[in-house]
Structure 1
């Protein structure tokens, strides 16, 4: 019996000083290798020992290609570099310290064969390695949809801007889809890909788990908060041709305004460091309120109202809400 051909999918990951996570990353890549057509690994900052271990391992898997920039590029530029080297029909971006179903590309093989521009599946988030987590992206249904609807789903938050919960046809990614931002470049890349797309497939399977660890891009207190506003502008720019102004205003409200408050509150970014971005978010929230955008749901309405009044009040309320949430989750873990 003839073995099924490898799915035409390139797995892309960018390593940035993985340390103790390297062994796990290598094991996951080995497990995934039989189920993709190529693996592209960018060494975007590694120690000499890490480089040596990777270069000794890579020849054991013929599908692996190692890219070694002369100096660290940052995650966005590293992904652009990897994309330029991809030869497969589809691309799947993963983070080396997360977890995924190794044969995910085979699970969605029928959607690959149908030639969809983007295939979106469900992903789970865990705030630490031992938690059960929760679903943070995707929908619990299996159907095709137009790219126009998919773009609306991105703007209203039904689909999130995560890369790892989607397979992209190489043709819709174009050249350098990720802007040179230290964070939030992924949502811009997703928006730009959707702007070039015609058909998207929604899948109900959970195929990826994002494990939020200390030191990750979105968790560090050194996060450049202004990236939220800049990414918001770039997403709106990418989707401007067929997006309704009310849809883009709503996106700015939840992604940039509420997103800034929640990031500062959740990651406990010092207020002195966060105030420039919070003041920008306050001005944006006030402008959106004059257009009639005050948020969907009680929590978002409260966040935006507090932000318009005083960003410090919004952050204090946010930190209190997260403290209650953490206490409730800790109680449930102990009870189970």
Structure 2
């Protein structure tokens, strides 16, 4: 039986499958690994490439047929089929260290952890460095509730690909049926069921931010974040500090929603943009701002003041920030969106 199941949801990713195969077959300790690729209704030839790969590899590889209902359903299907004691979730179009699974598995064995967390790096499609994701600032362990506190206050992010999860704490269908942020929703549940979380202070994954990603697509559903907030309250109520839940609402729901409303001006209906901003402002109160400031989250507190009291000036400031920080990505996303709207292209 495999020790680790590597889970990869795929839809119309034919351009990335050669790289995916090379990386999966190059994983250290491949003899202890199974790879489950969920083909979620591809129409670009991915299915044929995956079939050929499965027939011509020594890797323990299975290709599952998804229902076409999105990444959350695809991951849930793979969880139900996985045989490994631990699961690692990755994306076909990213890069990772060949030692990622062996490194995380060694930490899990050493600490008997239900969840192992490492670090990652964000880059743009042109290779520009967009910063490190430091989920594990130093090596050590924490309880699941302590790690949940870290997630709520922003020192632990909700991505899956820099984490290894014990299968038994995932439960049945762990990922909520949201278009975006299902990884965050699933991780909240995992933390609620985890006794021990291990932190491995190594950078093992490179997340490539592309214009076609869910968060950069026109089909982004903004109400997915409020759904995650509801789940955080459900899982954390009575287990974590009220101030942590309040900071999560401000810093990881209200502010990102407001920022998305700025990014999507001209793409979303004006009524949707207004609804996003109204909801974001409704989550911010004088108490939440003061708590954020006193808790050392002064940047979040300042941004929350801007959203609550001067949303138009703050939106202008955020536009300028986007130009400086993400000009290449936003330009590519705009071109992609224009091609979709223009039937002649």
TM-score normalised over the length of structure 2: 0.85
Corresponding residue for residue 336 of structure 2: none
1:11 equivalent in alignment to 2:6: yes
TM-score normalised over the length of structure 1: 0.87
Q: 1:81-108, CA deviations, whole angstroms, 9 ceiling, x for partnerless residues?
A: 1100011100000011011112212223
Instruction: Verify the 8 A CA contact 1:11 1:40 in the aligned structure 2.
Output: yes
Corresponding residue for residue 280 of structure 2: 281
SS of the aligned residue for 1:218 comes to: helix
Shift of 1:63: 0.6
1:47 equivalent in alignment to 2:47: no
Aligned mates of 2:149, 2:266 — CA distance in 1: 31
1:117 equivalent in alignment to 2:124: no
Q: Which structure 2 residue ranges, 5 or more long, are not aligned?
A: 328-345
Shift of 1:194: 0.6
- Residue from 74, 79, 92 that aligns with 1:83: 79
Corresponding residue for residue 331 of structure 1: none
SS of the aligned residue for 1:203 comes to: strand
- Residue from 60, 65, 68 that aligns with 1:63: 60
Aligned mates of 2:266, 2:230 — CA distance in 1: 23
Aligned mates of 1:244, 1:153 — CA distance in 2: 11
Aligned mates of 2:53, 2:171 — CA distance in 1: 31
Shift of 1:266: 4.7
Instruction: Verify the 8 A CA contact 2:12 2:44 in the aligned structure 1.
Output: no
- Residue from 85, 89, 95 that aligns with 1:93: 89
Aligned mates of 2:180, 2:260 — CA distance in 1: 12
SS of the aligned residue for 1:28 comes to: helix
Instruction: Verify the 8 A CA contact 1:264 1:274 in the aligned structure 2.
Output: yes
- Residue from 236, 240, 247 that aligns with 1:239: 236
Shift of 1:298: 4.6
SS of the aligned residue for 1:171 comes to: helix
- Residue from 4, 21, 28 that aligns with 1:26: 21
Distance 1:96-1:87 versus aligned 2 partners, 3 A rule: same
Q: 1:97-153, CA deviations, whole angstroms, 9 ceiling, x for partnerless residues?
A: 011112212223432323211100001111224223421242231112222221111
Aligned mates of 1:298, 1:266 — CA distance in 2: 24
Aligned mates of 1:136, 1:59 — CA distance in 2: 37
Q: 1:186-243, CA deviations, whole angstroms, 9 ceiling, x for partnerless residues?
A: 1111110010011111111111110001110112243111211111221221222411
Q: Which moved more, 1:292-301 or 1:245-254?
A: 292-301
1:154 equivalent in alignment to 2:151: yes
Q: 1:144-202, CA deviations, whole angstroms, 9 ceiling, x for partnerless residues?
A: 22222211111111110111111000111111111110001111111100100111111
Aligned mates of 2:41, 2:314 — CA distance in 1: 37
Aligned mates of 1:41, 1:240 — CA distance in 2: 36
Corresponding residue for residue 73 of structure 1: 69
Aligned mates of 1:112, 1:269 — CA distance in 2: 47
Instruction: Verify the 8 A CA contact 2:119 2:132 in the aligned structure 1.
Output: yes
Q: Which moved more, 1:274-283 or 1:208-217?
A: 274-283
Distance 1:269-1:313 versus aligned 2 partners, 3 A rule: farther
Shift of 1:293: 4.6
Distance 1:226-1:312 versus aligned 2 partners, 3 A rule: farther
SS of the aligned residue for 2:191 comes to: helix
Aligned mates of 2:150, 2:180 — CA distance in 1: 21
SS of the aligned residue for 1:108 comes to: helix
Shift of 1:324: 3.7
Aligned mates of 2:102, 2:249 — CA distance in 1: 36
1:220 equivalent in alignment to 2:248: no
Aligned mates of 1:18, 1:293 — CA distance in 2: 46
SS of the aligned residue for 2:84 comes to: coil
Instruction: Verify the 8 A CA contact 2:261 2:276 in the aligned structure 1.
Output: no
Corresponding residue for residue 314 of structure 1: 314
Q: 1:282-316, CA deviations, whole angstroms, 9 ceiling, x for partnerless residues?
A: 1122xx32556564445423322232235444322
